[in-house]
Amino acid sequence: MNKNNTLSVRTKLVVNVTLVHFVLMSIFIVDVYQRQKVFLSTEAESSTVNFSRLIAENMSSWLLSEDIMGMDEVLRASVKDFTATYAAVVETDGRVLVHSNPSQQGRYITGPDALVLLRGKKQAHIWRKDPTSIHAAAPVIIENRHLGWVLLGTDMNRVSTQLQTLRNQGIAYTVLAMIIGGLAAWLLASSIFRQIHRIMEGVARLRSNQLTSHIPIIANDEIGHIASALNGAMDSLQSSRNELQREIREHLKAEERIHHLTRNIMMGNEEERRRIGHDLHDEFGQSVAGFVFGLHTMKDLIVKDRDGASELCAKLAECAERLGEDIRRVAAHQYPVALEHLGLPLMIKAFLQEHGQQHANLTFTSKITTLEKRLAPYIELTAFRILQEAMSNIIRHSEATEVSVTLAVMHEWIFLCIKDNGKGFRQQTEYDLPRGDVTGIGLLGMAERASSVEGYLEVTSAPNQGCTVDVFLPLLFVTEKRIQGERHG
């Protein structure tokens, strides 16, 4: 459909309301007009009949005495204040005795209506009626003797004039009602479309992804409720978009962390292989070579020098003991077997004691809470691995002199805190690694370890302010039966 040929909703509303007012007012005016017409006609007929009856009563004595002059005076006096077109007194045979128009005196009334009147009932009635006049007749009766008729005509132009005035007023009222109705419809349409216009502006902003500006609510009606619902939808959409953007940022950050963690794990694995290779080559290899050489030497000394062989045997035993210690140390670094037997609190104490002996420049303090039950193995292992990594970072990077370790229960969490007084570092992202940390998985790996068991890690550090690592892991226990099974195993 052609847009230019389509009426707007505003125009349709104004036209329809105007037409409704026109139809309703027309029906009302026509009904009032018809009722008024019937009323005025009935009133005119009644007044004409009653007045003719009154004249007949006054005329009876004059008609009985056949006093024409007296009848004429009575007739003229009676119709003086009555808007009659004519008045007459006729005998029973139809001859006019007295008439308001003297030229009609002595004549006879004629016509079918006159014949019906003269032969009809002897009572006051309308004997003839036309659009412009009403003709009433009243009998003159004295002692049941019918002496004649009083005829009275009334002009209906006055009624027509009143009806014309009523019709003109009805047309004026109809036009006024149409104007008022159209104006009211226009004002109502303007109020409605003002809110609709605001809604369309809000939809346009929604289409252009501008979700922060609300639609103004002009009135608290149905359209206002629609605007309010759209505002709620825009808020929900904005919230969803913010949530989606936040998830995207977290996803990108997680991908970056995964890439970083993967790279550091690979580098850490290579470093671990290199360290194990050095240990095997430098320590185990030399120890085994010395041990083999000592066995060959002892073979020759057993025959030649028993005392020297005995001394060499003691040295070989010491070498074997050192080799065993080295093997246990390497094995403990790969997996802390003692953790299964000691539990986390005792293992942390033993770990700190060992590092205190190895690093005389560090002072270790601890506050370890004894647990009533053993923690789940993967919780213990996660906590200990985080402690190992944190201690490795402190020793290699922090230049600290004091280290404190706290293990406690906080509501439904196992809380592990590792704090040092080292040089600290500037945190640019959530889990920044200290500059130069390229061998281990660092803080990011520690955070991933905590997250893998549905825990979390918080790092607080600043240049020359040391570093604090707070670890929160779920407080999950194992049954006593499982602990005994693990120990016997």
Euclidean distance between CA atoms 315 and 163, whole angstroms: 146
DSSP 416-479: EEEEE-S-----SSTTPPPTT--SS-HHHHHHHHHHHTT-EEEEEE-TTS-EEEEEEEE--B--
Which pLDDT score is estimated for 286? Answer: 63
Which pLDDT score is estimated for 409? Answer: 93
Backbone torsion region of residue 436, taken as left when φ is above 0, otherwise alpha when ψ lies between -120 and 50, otherwise beta: left
Euclidean distance between CA atoms 387 and 441, whole angstroms: 13
Which pLDDT score is estimated for 69? Answer: 87
Which pLDDT score is estimated for 337? Answer: 73
Count of C-beta atoms within a 10 Å radius of residue 103: 7
Euclidean distance between CA atoms 71 and 59, whole angstroms: 6
Backbone torsion region of residue 143, taken as left when φ is above 0, otherwise alpha when ψ lies between -120 and 50, otherwise beta: left
Question: What is the DSSP pairing of strand 125-130 with strand 467-474?
Answer: unpaired
Which pLDDT score is estimated for 120? Answer: 83
Euclidean distance between CA atoms 26 and 158, whole angstroms: 24
Partners of 153 in the β-ladder: 86, 135
Give me the residues of the chain with pLDDT under 70, please.
Answer: 1-5, 261-296, 298-309, 312, 316, 324-335, 428-441, 479-489
pTM, entire model: 0.45
Please give the sequence-ordered ranges of beta strands (E in DSSP) within 232-351, or none if there are none: none
Amino acid at 419: K
3-state SS assignment for residue 179: helix
DSSP 8-class letter at 375 = B
- Write out the two tokens for 297: 């030497």
Please give the sequence-ordered ranges of beta strands (E in DSSP) within 2-105, or none if there are none: 84-91, 96-99
Which pLDDT score is estimated for 470? Answer: 95
Over residues 423-446, the pLDDT tens digits come to: 988 876 544 444 334 334 578 788
- Identify the structural domains of the chain with CATH numbers, from first to last: 7-174 (3.30.450.20), 336-489 (3.30.565.10)
Residue among 20, 19, 22 nearest 30 (CA):
22
